[in-house]
Structure 1
Amino acid sequence: MITLAQLLDPAALAIVGGGTALAIVLRTPFRDLGHALAAVTTLGRGRFDADPLLQQITALARIAKRHGVMALDRSVIADADVAAGIAAIVDGASATDVATLVQHRRRARIERHVAAADVWAGAAEVAPAMGMVGTLVGLAQMFATMSDPGAIGGAMAVALLATLYGALFANLLFMPIANRLRAQGRNEAFERARIEAPLVALAERETPRGYVAPTLAPTLATVA
């Protein structure tokens, strides 16, 4: 009967795990790599729901109607996209500019989600290849030690377990993470599209007629 201890081999694990990690580091920009690692912490969260943000925007619209749009400048807004939209409205941005800002931030967020998922999908592609590398290393070691029967078993273990580790890491760890991140990203992108209309409506109501709004180019540049 095979035990768990018999399926653990440090050499094979180092080849597959270390080789996969090195390949991902070499092929991925550090910013995307940081996003991919940070994204793992979000896997335990529930589905993103824009309803609380819509309720907050409605409350902010009531405040602006009663006390003027400048009163929104003192509001505490946790969500970065809503905060950016409200700040633009307070600065007198037009409805078109607010829509452009919200859309740009949503697209930038989508790109970050896609980049993070691609890192883990890339790891799923590399792991089996590293398993094959471990297999070749084990076979080479086995042939080099044919005169020592006691060393053949260890070399064969490296060869077989490296392939096993590559398949397990790819199909039970890396690819599931990538797929879940993609699902989360699609859901959040769909939900965040809902906040654009109320922010644009608020901007249309509060922007004075004939007012020339300042450009949002610096703000958009900071999102990219």
Structure 2
Amino acid sequence: MAWLGQFFDPLTLLAMFAGIVAVTVMQNGWTAWRRAIASLRPLFSADPAADRDAARNAMLRIDQVAQLRGLACTDRVRTTNPFLADAARRLANSDRVDAFELWVSQALADRAQRHGAVHRLWFSIADAAPALGMAGTIIGLVGMFAAMDDPAKLGPSMALALLTTFYGVVIANMIAAPVAARLSDLSERELAWQREAAERMLAIARRESAPARRAAIREVA
């Protein structure tokens, strides 16, 4: 396995990472980088299908509570999902359907924007890595041509030229691009079930806010 060591040059790899970070920070800012690092955890643990099924079960309980006790009691339904818990609390405390609808649209739009910023950062890494690898290749070739009269100096320059291209391809196509694609898929599936739950809550809110329905609830109470 000693041949693997030929592909590892700490200084070249560090220079590649430093260049990638510098380029992507200028494009996206440090906040996107912090969120991108945090996104690695749900990259492996997120399960949108299970979250969707749990949300549908929670919505059934919320619907039942709303029919029996009214909107003010919908926050009594316990759920471990932060979005559903927050939505149920706001549904219970909203005096007007349009106010709850505005919150839903803003919350989903903000969530989509945060997800998009993370995706853009990973795609920026996938774009920057090959470009920086090519820059390193050019530097290595320049060093080779400058040292044509000294064969001992040709090896390090050639290694730099080839390794930077290799690192750029690996970082872009085996790390950044797959991570970006996976996060994008998870985001779409998560936002899909959250929109579904939000639409269900809005339907419940409109139904329970109807004058006849309010009167029926007061009579039961």
TM-score (norm. length: structure 2): 0.81
Is the 8 Å Cα contact of residues 46 and 186 (structure 2) preserved in structure 1? no
Counterpart residue number, 2:60: 58
Please report how far the alpha carbon of residue 76 of structure 1 lies from its aligned counterpart in structure 2 after TM superposition.
4.1
Query: Please, which moves more after superposition, 197-206 or 169-178?
Result: 197-206
1:104 matched to which residue of 2?
106
In 2 relative to 1, CA 182–108 (structure 1 residues): closer, same or farther, beyond 3 Å? same
The 3-state SS of whatever aligns with 1:136 is helix
More displaced stretch, 8-17 vs 140-149? 140-149
1:187 to 1:69, Cα distance in 2 relative to 1, 3 A? closer
2-structure distance, mates of 1:88, 1:10: 52
What per-residue deviation string (whole Å, max 9, x for no partner) do you get for residues 12-50 of structure 1?
322322211221122212222222221122221354132
Count of residue pairs brought into register by the alignment: 210
What's the counterpart of residue 217 of structure 2?
Answer: none
C-alpha separation between the residues in 2 aligned to 1:84 and 1:2? 55
Unaligned runs of 5+ residues in structure 1 are: 210-224
- % same residue: 28
Amino acid corresponding to residue 179 of structure 2 in structure 1: I
The 1:131–1:198 alpha-carbon spacing in structure 2 relative to 1, beyond 3 Å, is same
1:130 deviates by: 0.5
Q: TM-score scaled by structure 1?
A: 0.80
Moved more, 24-33 or 74-83: 74-83
Q: Which residue number corresponds to residue 124 of structure 2?
A: 122
Higher helix share: 2
Matched, 1:10 2:4: no
Residues 147-171 of structure 1: per-residue CA shift (max 9 Å, x gap): 4432221121011111111112111
Q: Map 1:1-224 to 2 at 5 A.
A: 3-49=3-49, 50-207=52-209, 209=211
Identify unmatched segments of 5+ residues in structure 2.
212-221
Cα distance change, pair 186–72 in 1 and its aligned pair in 2 (3 A): closer
CA shift in 2, pair 1:51/1:93, >3 Å: farther
- For residues 29 and 21 of structure 1, do their structure 2 counterparts lie closer, same or farther at Cα, with a shift above 3 Å needed? closer
1: CA distance, partners of 2:193 / 2:66: 24
Q: Secondary structure at the match of 2:3?
A: coil
1:89 aligned partner, one-letter code: L
Task: Give RMSD over aligned pairs.
Answer: 2.6
- Measured after TM superposition, the shift of residue 197 of structure 1 is 2.7
